[in-house]
Structure 1
């Protein structure tokens, strides 16, 4: 098991290794395996990349993000320009049904809403918008609308976990209420926890996933 200092050193090294991040602008604190990232970054996508980099490091039990986005002068755009760019890029995203996503922008923060049938479509909308110049944050309020059997969803998730050998499915409990899934249990690392979450989200008909799985190092 890593000490907090070892974990902090590994996260700082991972941030420095990631070329899309200016690690000098990001502070890292660790207490009992809980990591806090603070500081200023130049774009929302850099903030996103820093979060992803921290989560890749073995030993992270939880992540708190206190970074904010400070756009340099040439990257600043008004809300109308951001909204127009977001609507255009969503229109050209092949995974999304036409006119299924609505966009609202306030102070550089983009709010996405609407209905889709799969989580991958919701993620595709997020991926399309997060790289746009001028975006300082994203609220993804897109809902998943699909009628399925709760027992079928549970069986699909359980079988998918068994197929993916990195995760011992016996460690994970799946509870399904309607289209809402709750995962619980204990796994050995953050990667297994995230794989279980992605597996649940990749199942047809799942609208919400609550991940209560504990990482036990």
Structure 2
């Protein structure tokens, strides 16, 4: 196990090796394997590069980033200019549905929000804006909302009914529009109806269940 001094030396060497970072302005403190980076950098991309470099070092238990982003000259931009650049960058991402992500810029810090279906889309959005000129920080509040799987809903309803010795779900129809799931068709009792509804609610991604089932 590395001592704090050994860990400090390794982190400083890794920062010096990382080409995207000017390690001359970064101080490294170590306390029982917890690394704290102090000082300043010229961009948020450099700050992120420093964090990434530290996390590559074996023996690091946690990282605290206390680096100030000090923009120079032409790197200073208004929030409006940054917001426009963010909008353009997100629009060019073919992997993310149009208008799925919202962005707010305040004092150079970008806050991303919205919903996507996959985690890689969440990270792609952050990667697209992290290196923009004038950015001081990025807060990623994008949530991952799984897409409703029609066959999975149908299967779950069938299994729920069979487990309780009821008829199968062949007479129940399932349709999906966005995150709204609609059940229609025929059921033979309140128990069957409730089982179908509860199964629908248990499906990942469902935000609303519409019951149009009729009794026979």
Q: CA deviation at 1:75?
A: 0.3
The SS at the match of 2:141 is strand
Greater than 2 Å deviation, 4+ residue runs: none
Q: Which residue of 2 aligns with 1:13?
A: 13
Aligned length: 152
Q: Distance in 2 between matches of 1:87 and 1:65?
A: 28
Q: Which residue of 1 aligns with 2:74?
A: 74
Q: Distance in 1 between matches of 2:32 and 2:109?
A: 32
Q: Distance in 2 between matches of 1:2 and 1:144?
A: 38
Q: Which residue of 2 aligns with 1:179?
A: none
Query: If you compute each CA radius of gyration, which structure gives the higher value, 1 or 2?
Result: 2
> Residues 43 and 135 of structure 2 are in contact (CA less than 8 Å); yes or no, is this contact kept in structure 1?
yes
1:117-138 CA-partner distances (Å, limit 9, x unpaired): 1110000000000000000001
Q: Distance in 2 between matches of 1:15 and 1:114?
A: 34
The SS at the match of 1:97 is coil
Q: Gaps spanning 5+ residues in structure 2: where?
A: 153-203, 206-216
Q: Which residue of 1 aligns with 2:24?
A: 24
- Equivalence map 1:131-210=2 (5 Å): 131-146=131-146
Q: Which residue of 1 aligns with 2:83?
A: 83
The TM-score normalised by the length of structure 2 is 0.68
Q: Gaps spanning 5+ residues in structure 1: where?
A: 153-204, 207-217
- Equivalence map 1:46-61=2 (5 Å): 46-61=46-61
Q: Distance in 2 between matches of 1:40 and 1:33?
A: 22
Q: Which residue of 2 aligns with 1:158?
A: none
Point out the more displaced range, 139-148 or 89-98. Answer: 139-148
Q: CA deviation at 1:99?
A: 1.1
The TM-score normalised by the length of structure 1 is 0.67
Q: CA deviation at 1:145?
A: 1.1
> Residues 117 and 147 of structure 2 are in contact (CA less than 8 Å); yes or no, is this contact kept in structure 1?
no
Q: Which residue of 1 aligns with 2:130?
A: 130
Q: Distance in 1 between matches of 2:140 and 2:61?
A: 24
Q: Which residue of 1 aligns with 2:110?
A: 110
Q: CA deviation at 1:68?
A: 1.3
The SS at the match of 2:27 is strand
RMSD over aligned Cα, in angstroms?
A: 1.8
Q: CA deviation at 1:143?
A: 1.2
The SS at the match of 2:129 is helix
Q: CA deviation at 1:103?
A: 1.1
